[in-house]
Amino acid sequence: MNVVSVAKRDFLDVRRAKLVWAPMVLYVLFMLLFYWGQSNSTNPDFYMILWGLAGLGGALVIPLAALVAAYLSIAGERESGSIKYQLSLPVSRTDVVLGKLLARAAVVAVALLVAFAVGDVAGRLLVPDMTVEYDVYGAFAVLTLLYALSYVAVAVGISAATSSRSRAMSGAIGFFFVFNIVWNFLPIGPVRMAEFVLTELGVSYSDALLDLIFSLSPTGAYLNGMKLVFPDSFRALQSTTTASDVFYVQGWFMLVILAGWIVVPLAVGTWQFGRTDLG
């Protein structure tokens, strides 16, 4: 039994969970709402629909879908004791973590791809006069899938590092609140705190530095990563984005940050899981 075997078994189990699919139904409803809104416009804007999905769907629905799909992937089996049976087979703890990641990421990816397909059909029916740029739509979908993967990785890492369902749930909720709501959307977030502290200390800073701080969360990196998706004329809508040429606020660097959110939580979770006595 290896990583793929673990992933196949887990995928078959989790795909039946209605709670996993519920957030994606909400994502489709948001998508339909944005298309319907543009259907009343004399000049429907395809980019506005995608930006609405990135802002509302990306900040709320995607993280919830990924966390719900993966936060119990290992902690649930540890609490029930079934993880001991799985580890009695020729499979390592690292295989378990990576297998869970593949399975939960596959479920979220399938749900998102279905949502994008529904959105395409809805666009044709609700806004027949709107021009859909499929290269932009495809780039948006790829970036959204990477963003979702980062949250799945975080959830699997939390699940691997915790020993019970309640702790895994607390960790997932805490991460969502701190690195999504507080970090990017509350006026007391790290960006405003850093701005206040640097100003009080008399230290000069650039808007690019504040933009980097905003982008250090998965959601911030996703939103600023939209520089890679939308044309220059649309970037005016991205109020979080500076015009700096510094490398750490460029679109490609947002992919590096998202990759970090995939690798680091998994590494920490795998390390903690590996050193835990399962009894």
Domain annotation covers residue 115: yes
Q: What is the pTM of this model?
A: 0.92
Domain annotation covers residue 279: no
Domain annotation covers residue 77: yes
Exposure class string for 47-64: b at 16+ Cβ within 10 A, else e: bebbbbbbeebbbbbbbb
Task: Provide the residue range defining the domain that includes 128.
Answer: 3-274
The pLDDT assigned to 101 comes to 96
165 within 8 A of 76, measured Cβ to Cβ:
yes
Domain annotation covers residue 40: yes
245 DSSP 8-state letter: -
User: What is the mean pLDDT for each group of 10 consecutive residues in the chain (279 residues)?
Assistant: 85 74 83 84 82 84 92 90 81 92 93 89 84 89 96 97 93 96 90 93 90 95 91 57 77 96 97 84
Domain annotation covers residue 194: yes
76, amino acid identity? G
Question: How many domains, in total, are found in the chain?
Answer: 1
Domain annotation covers residue 106: yes
